[in-house]
Amino acid sequence: MTKSKNIFQEAREAKAKLNTRRHFLKTCTTGLGAMAFASILGCNLSDKQASNFQNPLLNLDGILPHFAPRAKRVIYLHMAGSPSQLELFDYKPTLNKLHDQPCPPSLLAGKRFAFISGVPQMLGHQATFNQYGESGAWVSNRLPYFSKVVDEVCFLKAVHTDEFNHAPAQLFMMSGSPRLGRPSIGSWVSYGLGSENENLPGYVVLVSGGRVPSAGKSLWGSGFLPSLYQGVQCRSEGDPVLYVSNPKGMSRDLRKQTIDAINQINQKEYETFKDPEILTRIAQYEMAFKMQMSVPDAMDISKEPAHIHQMYGTEPGKTSFANNCLLARRLAEEGVRFIQLFHWGWDSHGAGASEALNKGFLDRCKEVDQPMSALLLDLKQRGLLEDTLVVWGGEFGRTPMKENRSGLDNPFVGRDHHTDAFTMWMAGGGIKSGLTFGKTDEIGYHGIEGKVHVHDLQATVLHTLGLNHEKLTYPFQGRDFRLTDVSGTVVKDILA
Amino acid sequence: MYFTQQYNLFLIGISVLLIGLASCSESFRNEKAISFSQDVKPILNKHCLACHGGIKKSGEYSLLFEDEALGIAESGTRVILPGDSRNSEFIKRIIHKDPDTRMPLDAPPLSQQEISTLTRWIDQGAKWEKHWAYIPPNSSISPTKMDNKWVKNDLDYFILNQLQHHDLSPSQEANRNTLIRRLSLDLIGLPPTPKEVDTFINDTSPDAYEKLLDQLLASPHFGERWAAMWLDLARYADTKGYEKDPYRNIWRFRDWVIQAFNEDMPFDQFTIEQLAGDLLSTPTQDQLIATAFHRNTMTNTEGGTEDEEFRVAAIIDRVNTTMEVWQGTTMSCVQCHSHPYDPFRHEEYYETFAFFNNTQDADLDNEIPNLAVYPEETINEIEALFEDIQKMEPSINIDQTASIPTQIKQAIFPRLHPNFCDDFHNVQFHGGRWLSNWTFRVQAGEQGKFYFKFDNIDINGLEAISYTWSSTGSDATIECRLDSIAGTKINSLKCAATKPPGLKHLWQDKFKTQRIRISQNEKKLLSGKHDLIFEIVNTTGKIPEGIILLSEIELHYKNQKPANASLKKVRQNLIDTRKGLTYSPIMKEKSAAFARKTQVFERGNFLTKGKKVKPNVPDELPSLPKNEPANRLAFAKWLVSKENPLTARVIVNRFWEQIFGTGLVETLEDFGTQGMKPSHPELLDYLALRFMNEHKWSVKALLREIMLSATYRQSSESTALKLEKDPYNLLLSRGARYRLSAEQIRDQALVVSGLLHDTIGGKSVMPPQPEGIWQSVYSGEKWVTPNDHSRYRRGLYTFWKRTSPYPSMMSFDSPSREVCVSRRIRTNTPLQALVTMNDPVFVEAAQALGKEMKENGKGNVDLGIKIGYKIALGKEVDKSTLTILKRLYENAEIELSQPKAIETSNPEKEPEFPMTPMTVVANAILNLDSFVMRE
């Protein structure tokens, strides 16, 4: 038993070394001939400062897929602010019956809410529900497009989290810890698997809704992992990747000549100092030159055919969730490993029109319904859904009670933050389709079956990529850290 | 025959003896003393402690502490029998044939060598040893000297010894061009000008190098360069963090650090002022600003967050940061359980926590306690008002040596403005105008109590107290008590409604004043000086009925002359002098009466409180002096006491790393058993001792000594042999070569282009940044680049927003400063190339440099390139580089003369100058490896 594990380990390590070398030769084709293995370590990474103790690539050797992956890449659609599951997916007839009745004290005892105080009233669904598809999944009338693709999807009805404020909950969802400073899930994946595309960043972030999410860019930060692994924000307006365009007057030819001159001089420098870091720099300038071409290409949706624009509801040149969905598909085609979309504006408290279930929430639904459904169909028709995992959800859920901020009535209808039960969905690579997993109680307050904790969800995402969440670790401050902290169980029931 | 036999026997005897000797020497070698720290502990860490350590104690057995390891396990067995490996369960289990019984479980067996090491360790008596970092250095440490011309000072012997041990020789001194650029970048973070280079090269005096070194040490830019290092440790940023991540006015702390380095404040004092400046007797304004070190923790202003939760998070960060910065100890592991590998118990975390748990700050949005800083003109105004008051009422005692807020407090007495209270609990302050018991959830406070106090007030002859409040309901009472929250009640007021009910009226002023006499009974209790505690009691905890706004309290004494209208007016003017006033968060200790109790958080959860603990330092470290109160000040002094040399080791190592690119202990942040061992342990100890004893904690003296060494002056050129034997240059067989920091890369580009505006200090600035980078939620704050010199300030002054750090700095590995970062891992990525090639800041630098090259070249392209290269790199251009750059110039000339030239253009910002061939060359120079590297 132990022995066979050793052989397996050995084989994997040998493969990893080979891959790393191949990866290197592919990336750093600088025509400089034979290079020591030491310079391989320098290729993507950094100088000798990160030598034997914390050289992430040395670690990488041991953690390349722990087992056969089902998904090669992830598209993660995060609904920042947290949409109400009770207006979208979690249908509870009892809640409608209880509408406007005071909340029983038993539901309030020992609970911490962000804004509810005193005794709030129950709030029935602010939408109507029907069952769709062969799977008979419940979807509300807020998502007419999505109701047609439910058979591609696996719903998780009883997800729960530990955090009830936006920034900590978003960090918890993305980095496994409510505090700042840990690597995001995309960074962990890039660290574990590297990139499939040499000319594009391996971890791309697209933001819409006019705001970055509450926890800011830390959500795609690399924490204590080297900055190489942080998400690169790509934008629909301005430079698609910061500083990717040449300054005015610098043509592509002239840029090429400049880089050639820089690299020639750097090569002479290498002959004097023999510092492998110089070889890395030469390779990175070539890579930068390639990115200058490939990034704007990948980010240019204007060449997509009309029927695709129609399908997604895209308008080239604008920043929208629809454009970002289409971009996500293009980046997935290009082999970007982790594509993360954030769409802001789901915090439906009811304290103002823009955050009301009967106003702003409707707009948000319209913004996401068509494009996210189109994304699934488009991935499917291109055969990409098989090995692309799509994840959708907010950072927590919303209460079955109506929010009564400071004990007062809100001018609009809304729900407070809720940690105990909310709906997320997954689709594609390695996940069963047409499944509804987990169940909440009769008012959607607690999970009663198939509860999935945030760490379980993270463990499952890593699992589909062939990564064991307990083994994907990085030493920092005297401890081996991992995405799922000290818990997390893969949700085996939803694996295809 | 007999003889022969005898002889044979003799021979046999000799052989036996020889064999005996041989085996004896073999076993002698085996019996070489096994060191617990060197040999045994690494095996335990690797294979055993995950289950038998600080987190899990499987079978009730742990190998973390000596008493546990040599004690009895759950099974009743003494696991290790010193001197008797054969009967020790410990050995039996690691060599057991049954894989279900053999340790480590579910893992491959230990290697023969590991087993042999452990066996011999037990046979030799199973002696426990402290980890090297917790053993004080040998005070008589000195280098083994040898005759060698390369050596410049004693440091070099330590390096040379190691090199010789590895059959390596050191490198020769680098040339002067390299030396001046190296010294300059290392000491002030800026490159030398061509003129400075020439002066140094032409200086033939024997002490030219020392003179240059001293000149740079005295430069006012010295502090800026070293502040950049310290600010990573202090997690300094210009915003509060979390969701809204709003502005925090804390730049004075950054300036304090710069000044402290410039003045070469001894490091022990530097430590004490930052950790406990507020507890020094009569602290100066600067000493209070220094305490902002620990106010750089984040404050959560998101709606609906529990202040206590984030106050605790901030204290935890302070403990972790302090222990990492000064002790190289990863205390954060001990938050939830005992340390997995190092000898620190769970409880000890909270004993250390207790030192920090008693500050007034409580995650309030306005970050009270703050230092109020008055602008110069307001100070003049205030002083004039003081004079007026003294004239009107000479009996009022205003201590002119005290801080302005204290003087105001004295000048308005017996009026008590809530904003000037000495300590508080659970109350909120509103724009300096009033105080309330609104803390988001009124009922949520600890014990549901809201109070504040004024210290040391004479109550002889106190007749009445008047209160000025505003309320929408009649649900709150103010009670005045003596000395503690449970003290004697001397006065109380039931606050009636002053305005209509309902939340929308809550913040209207509508104040009412009511005077409450002190009863005859209560009067009997009044004598002497006491702390007056005012508690707002609300019976129902309802919002908004239970909330009052309190704008003033006035004390009335027997025989007191009532203040006349003009005095009243002047006093009001004094209270109203808030114009231009800025507040900077600082530390302030809670008074004894309001002190918090510290309890262990079970499994690190702040809601699950366990045993009560008192402030103390971990047992493994030297103990706290007995004769002083165990508070933050005592802790800070303990950190830098002679008895705790770990601090000097950790700090010396930090400076070493800044200069050599790698620390003597590579893991700057972890000197524990999971960290790296020192590459030159004796040198580390030697430097630590000299830093404390000879240099008296002078950072400049320490740096000077290191930089005078031959080790520091070596050339960075390498050979195949050196690369093979010492690929990472840990033995320092050559000069260090590494990439400049994010700040240095920016600063250097600004210097060589002549754009740098080198003012020191002040508010942070917003240099050009692409549109749309800042999109924070619920915040109207914007990135605005003014069209003045502030766009050309050093990187250190760039506005640091935690949730949206300056993009080009992030590309070059600067941290987001959310938590303490000991070392930046240097990466080398294509995104960095894009920054230095295309970021408008760098394009503008290339244009300015190109212009300079063109103008000073006076039409001669070669000369122009030579000039530019020297400005940028501090040395003459070699022939082949010149050829390459000239060819680029000529190609650019052709390319730019064609009308189609503009293929791609930067949509972010149109540069001010058109692209010229010389700009293209300058852009290339600013992207050379040797430009972004320091050698």
Instruction: Give kind and range of the element (H or E) at residue A476.
Output: strand A473-476
pLDDT at B203: 97
Q: Is B907 on the interface with A (CB under 8 A)?
A: yes
d(C-alpha A432, C-alpha A152), whole Å: 8
Per-residue tokens: B437: 């018991």
For the purposes of burial, counting CB atoms within 10 Å of the CB of B410, is it exposed (0-12), middle (13-18) or buried (19 or more)?
middle
| Largest Cα span, chain B | 136
- What is the C-alpha radius of gyration for chain A, rounded to an integer number of angstroms? 24
Per-residue tokens: B63: 């190998």
Given a cut of 90, whether residue B289 has pLDDT beyond it is yes
Given a cut of 70, whether residue B17 has pLDDT beyond it is no
CATH pick for B418-559 out of 3.40.50.300, 3.40.50.1950, 2.60.120.260, 2.60.120.960: 2.60.120.260
CA-closest candidate to residue B339, choices A73, A477, A394: A477
- pLDDT, chain B, mean: 88
Q: Give the residues across from B370 on adjacent strands.
A: B585
Select from A48, A235, A408 the Cβ nearest to the Cβ of B772: A235
Per-residue tokens: A136: 């008979």
pLDDT at B48: 86
Given a cut of 60, whether residue A34 has pLDDT beyond it is no
- Residue B107: CB atoms within 10 Å: 13
Given a cut of 80, whether residue B613 has pLDDT beyond it is yes
Higher pLDDT, B679 or A117: B679
Helix, coil or strand: residue B764? coil
Given a cut of 60, whether residue B489 has pLDDT beyond it is yes
Instruction: Give kind and range of the element (H or E) at residue B388.
Output: helix B376-392
Sign of the dihedral through C-alpha B10, B15, B19, B22 = positive
Is B544 in contact with A406 (Cβ distance < 8 A)?
A: yes
**Residue B439 confidence class, pLDDT cut points 50, 70, 90:** low
Task: Identify whether the C-beta of residue A285 lies closer than 8 Å to the C-beta of residue A332.
Answer: no
pLDDT at B594: 83
pLDDT at A415: 94
pLDDT at B910: 52
Phi, psi dihedrals of residue B458, rounded to the nearest 5°: -70, 120
Per-residue tokens: A189: 């994946």
**Residue B804 neighbours by CB under 8 Å, 6+ apart:** A212, A216, A217, B245, B773, B774, B775, B776
* Chain A hits for B839, Cβ within 8 Å: 242-243
Tell me which chain A residue has its CA closest to the CA of residue B661: A49
Average pLDDT over residues B913-928: 93
Average pLDDT over residues B678-704: 97
Q: Is B913 on the interface with A (CB under 8 A)?
A: no
Lowest-pLDDT choice from B189-198, B364-373, B731-740: B364-373
For the purposes of burial, counting CB atoms within 10 Å of the CB of B274, is it exposed (0-12), middle (13-18) or buried (19 or more)?
buried
Q: From start to end of B472-614, where are the E strands?
A: 476-482, 489-495, 512-517, 529-538, 548-557, 582-585, 598-601, 609-613
Q: Is B839 on the interface with A (CB under 8 A)?
A: yes
d(C-alpha A456, C-alpha A63), whole Å: 20
pLDDT at B778: 64
Higher pLDDT, A125 or B542: A125
Instruction: Assess if CATH 3.40.720.10 describes domain A73-237+318-494.
Output: yes
Average pLDDT over residues B365-376: 86
d(C-alpha B11, C-alpha B35), whole Å: 40
DSSP state of B259: H
First to last CA, chain B: 80
Per-residue DSSP letters for B456-498? Answer: EEE-TTEEEEEEEEEESSS-EEEEEEESSTTS-EEEEEEE---
- What is the C-alpha radius of gyration for chain B, rounded to an integer number of angstroms? 34
Tens digit of pLDDT for each residue in A443-462? Answer: 999 999 999 999 999 999 99
Identity of the highest mean pLDDT range in A182-191, A263-272, B27-36, B648-657: B648-657
Per-residue tokens: B465: 């107290």
**Residue B270 confidence class, pLDDT cut points 50, 70, 90:** very high
Tens digit of pLDDT for each residue in B628-668? Answer: 899 999 999 999 999 999 999 999 999 999 999 999 998 89
Is A226 in contact with B302 (Cβ distance < 8 A)?
A: no
Tens digit of pLDDT for each residue in A379-429? Answer: 999 999 999 999 999 999 999 999 876 556 667 899 999 999 999 999 999
pLDDT at A486: 86
Is A227 in contact with B810 (Cβ distance < 8 A)?
A: yes
* Chain B hits for A282, Cβ within 8 Å: 929
Is B834 in contact with A250 (Cβ distance < 8 A)?
A: no
Q: Give the ranges where A313-394 is alpha helix by DSSP (H).
A: 321-333, 360-381
Interface test with B, best of A262, A343, A473, A481 (most B CBs within 10 A): A262
Percentage of residues of chain B with pLDDT beyond 70 = 93
**Residue B699 confidence class, pLDDT cut points 50, 70, 90:** very high
Given a cut of 90, whether residue B855 has pLDDT beyond it is yes
Query: Length of chain A in residues, anyone?
Result: 496
Q: Compute the 3-state secondary structure of chain A and give helix, strand, coil in percent, each to the nearest 5.
A: 40, 20, 40
Average pLDDT over residues A191-197: 82
- Residue B535: CB atoms within 10 Å: 21
Is A248 in contact with B910 (Cβ distance < 8 A)?
A: yes
Phi, psi dihedrals of residue B581, rounded to the nearest 5°: -70, 135
pLDDT at B108: 84
Select from A113, A216, A285 the Cβ nearest to the Cβ of B245: A216
Given a cut of 90, whether residue B773 has pLDDT beyond it is no
Sequence ranges of the domains in chain A = 73-237+318-494
Per-residue tokens: B597: 């109790």
d(C-alpha A302, C-alpha A304), whole Å: 6
pLDDT at A3: 34
pLDDT at A15: 39
Lowest-pLDDT choice from B167-171, B558-562, B564-568, B691-695: B558-562
Per-residue tokens: B672: 């524990």
Helix, coil or strand: residue B331? helix
Interface test with B, best of A182, A265, A480 (most B CBs within 10 A): A265
CA-closest candidate to residue A453, choices A491, A417, A415: A491
For the purposes of burial, counting CB atoms within 10 Å of the CB of A63, is it exposed (0-12), middle (13-18) or buried (19 or more)?
buried
**Residue A329 neighbours by CB under 8 Å, 6+ apart:** A375, A378, A379, A382, A384
pLDDT at A41: 28
Task: Identify whether the C-beta of residue B711 lies closer than 8 Å to the C-beta of residue B151.
Answer: no
Q: How far is B573 from chain A (nearest CA, A)?
A: 36
pLDDT at A51: 31
Higher pLDDT, B103 or A479: B103
- Residue A306: CB atoms within 10 Å: 7
CA-closest candidate to residue B476, choices B552, B544, B555: B544
Q: Angle at Cα A481 formed by Cα B37 and Cα B618, nearest 5°? A: 45
Per-residue tokens: B688: 């630590």
**Residue B751 confidence class, pLDDT cut points 50, 70, 90:** very high
Q: How many contiguous H segments (helices) and E segments (strands) does chain A have?
A: 13, 17
Pairing of strands B598-601, B609-613: antiparallel
* Chain B hits for A250, Cβ within 8 Å: 904, 915, 920, 923
Lowest-pLDDT choice from A24-28, A313-317, B350-354, B488-492: A24-28
Higher pLDDT, B793 or A280: B793
pLDDT at A407: 56
Tens digit of pLDDT for each residue in B718-748? Answer: 988 998 888 889 999 999 999 999 999 999 9
CA-closest candidate to residue B839, choices B740, B741, B739, B742: B742
Given a cut of 70, whether residue B36 has pLDDT beyond it is yes
d(C-alpha B343, C-alpha A70), whole Å: 43
* Chain B hits for A280, Cβ within 8 Å: 828
d(C-alpha A399, C-alpha A416), whole Å: 5
Lowest-pLDDT choice from A15-29, B404-418, B472-486, B824-838: A15-29
Task: Identify whether the C-beta of residue A244 lies closer than 8 Å to the C-beta of residue B832.
Answer: no
Instruction: Give kind and range of the element (H or E) at residue A22.
Output: helix A2-27
Q: How far is B503 from chain A (nearest CA, A)?
A: 8
Give me the half-sphere count of Cα atoms (radius 13 Å) on the Cβ side of residue B375: 8
CA-closest candidate to residue B677, choices B131, B22, B262, B18: B131
Average pLDDT over residues B83-94: 90
Task: Identify whether the C-beta of residue B76 lies closer than 8 Å to the C-beta of residue B59.
Answer: no
**Residue B30 confidence class, pLDDT cut points 50, 70, 90:** low
DSSP state of A157: E
DSSP state of B62: -
Tens digit of pLDDT for each residue in A43-82? Answer: 333 333 333 333 333 333 334 677 889 999 999 999 999 9
Tens digit of pLDDT for each residue in B869-885? Answer: 999 999 999 999 999 99
**Residue B681 confidence class, pLDDT cut points 50, 70, 90:** very high
Average pLDDT over residues B388-399: 85
Query: Length of chain B in residues, anyone?
Result: 935
Tens digit of pLDDT for each residue in A127-136? Answer: 999 999 999 9
Given a cut of 50, whether residue B569 has pLDDT beyond it is yes
Tens digit of pLDDT for each residue in B896-914? Answer: 987 654 444 444 445 455 7
pLDDT at A355: 85
The whole-angstrom distance between residue B540's C-alpha and the CA centroid of its chain comes to: 44
d(C-alpha B297, C-alpha B587), whole Å: 12
Q: Angle at Cα B856 formed by Cα B854 and Cα B859, nearest 5°? A: 55
- Residue B34: CB atoms within 10 Å: 21
Task: Identify whether the C-beta of residue B714 lies closer than 8 Å to the C-beta of residue B173.
Answer: yes
